[in-house]
Structure 1
């Protein structure tokens, strides 16, 4: 069993963060998003992983190298253009060869890993095994039409979905998927749709089985999805505190705190994760916050937010909430007159002020 994990695309819905970094390198609870997928693969006993990257993008290679830190052998496969998930599978045939494999979209986060889905694939002797989840907005996904416990059809982002069962970004295949992707045609948007490949398999009489996710699963395509995934991961952390906490501070709930971090005259209310060499002074850090390495939060309040490394928040009078800050961002109260708002913002930034 091998794994094929996507880490390409342009992350347009996560701009401006993705103007300067690959979205799969955005941290969720202070761990790079793609690291979760690699951990799931390792936990499932997989030792060879192909990672699909954008042509010329070295950031994923720089972050994960040859895979030794995950006890994996990683091969990087470049995709010249975003031509669809079917195309991703198609260009990976020389890596996969005749092996069964898990196809995992790298911006998906779920509880419990992928072992169960691999076991179900084997138990059903399937050619294709899909992982489904009930969602409130199925028109955003490929949708499975299920009757009497069997998938009878699949549509990609339908205007009028036949069910609320979304096809998540987790699939298990044998080599027949290559026959499918080599026989389908590009859709109206010019992509080889993976839903069309699944429909091909159904129409040719191949076995297409499924599992339904009973826990949580997130497709982290939008900022609100990142914050929700961060919340879900933090809900499962265990208390682990390094660094120093002074006597004037109150730390309650489950808190992970890295080496060299200082909590000074502050209130921390978990679940919260705080990286290494962070200073929190005269501040409040509320539930579901992830604070990256080297951040400084001074005389300010923050809750349900993600701060990447080296951010600085100082003397902000109102609580910061439901926010996503990239690396090396500064939010400061002006010390000069006249008192005005001053911004340096990149394309597609979002700011709310009163």
Structure 2
């Protein structure tokens, strides 16, 4: 099992902070934002980690993280030369994955409870994918899941009229099919390769499972959510709690 942290993008919603640094290096509590997804992967027993970031920020990211020795893991780095969506960034990880299952975390997703139980369930899943959901007050900002008791029925990207208030958040688990699915999809109306399109291909095959994430969570991509991210991690001193 390998881990992938997607830490590219321009962070335009956090200007002018992101004029001088990568969004994922901004402080959240007592640490840079990217430390939280790193801790999530390591807490799940994943120590072979690829970090994907932009050309202009690669130097700063490598300078911060190094080889991974101080975290007890091993980092590999890949440059995303243009921002073309989550699926486009994930496609860069195909050679790194080498056919193994992968756990993908968006670098601005901050949570307080370890995802290890969810990863363990994915390990025992014969094939397919697993996503994590969270009930949110503004589902129109996310990929929104229509669900029944066992399965995700459909995922709609940033809908005007959401079918539920369960957002598909930035923790994704995939088998090796994911890279073939990425090759099958086309850019959305926004001009991006949407990860929701990939997830919907898994749904069509009946291979997408889901869990509801425990604990507090936010994506720290706006000033409001960055403030909330600081609040929740300071409550736990930047440590992850074990899930029940």
Please classify the TM superposition score into its range, dividing by the shorter chain length: over 0.9
Provide the residue aligned with 1:69 in structure 2: 70
Provide the residue aligned with 1:185 in structure 2: 186
Note the C-alpha offset of 1:122: 2.6
Note the C-alpha offset of 1:36: 1.4
Conserved? CA contact 1:86–1:194, under 8 Å: yes
What TM-score, normalized to structure 2?
A: 0.93
Note the C-alpha offset of 1:70: 0.7
Gaps of at least 5 residues in structure 1 are 239-354
Note the C-alpha offset of 1:126: 4.0
Q: Which moved more, 1:47-56 or 1:161-170?
A: 47-56
In terms of Rg, which structure is larger? 1
Note the C-alpha offset of 1:123: 3.5
Gaps of at least 5 residues in structure 2 are 239-244
Q: Write the deviation string for residues 6-56 of structure 1: whole angstroms up to 9, x where unpaired.
A: 111111111111110111111111201101111221221112100011024
Q: CA RMSD in A?
A: 1.4
Give secondary structure in 2 for the equivalent of 1:218: strand
Structure showing the higher strand proportion among its residues? 1
Pairing of 1:1-354 with structure 2 (within 5 A): 1-57=1-57, 58-203=59-204, 205-237=205-237
Please give the alpha-carbon distance, in whole angstroms, between the structure 1 residues aligned to 2:22 and 2:121: 32
Please give the alpha-carbon distance, in whole angstroms, between the structure 1 residues aligned to 2:137 and 2:56: 37
Give secondary structure in 2 for the equivalent of 1:190: coil
Structure showing the higher helix proportion among its residues? 2
Note the C-alpha offset of 1:206: 4.3
Conserved? CA contact 2:113–2:216, under 8 Å: no
Note the C-alpha offset of 1:134: 0.4
Conserved? CA contact 2:30–2:237, under 8 Å: no
Note the C-alpha offset of 1:236: 2.1
Please give the alpha-carbon distance, in whole angstroms, between the structure 1 residues aligned to 2:116 and 2:158: 27
What TM-score, normalized to structure 1?
A: 0.65
Give secondary structure in 2 for the equivalent of 1:131: strand
Note the C-alpha offset of 1:125: 2.9
Would you say how many aligned residue pairs link Structure 1 and Structure 2? 237
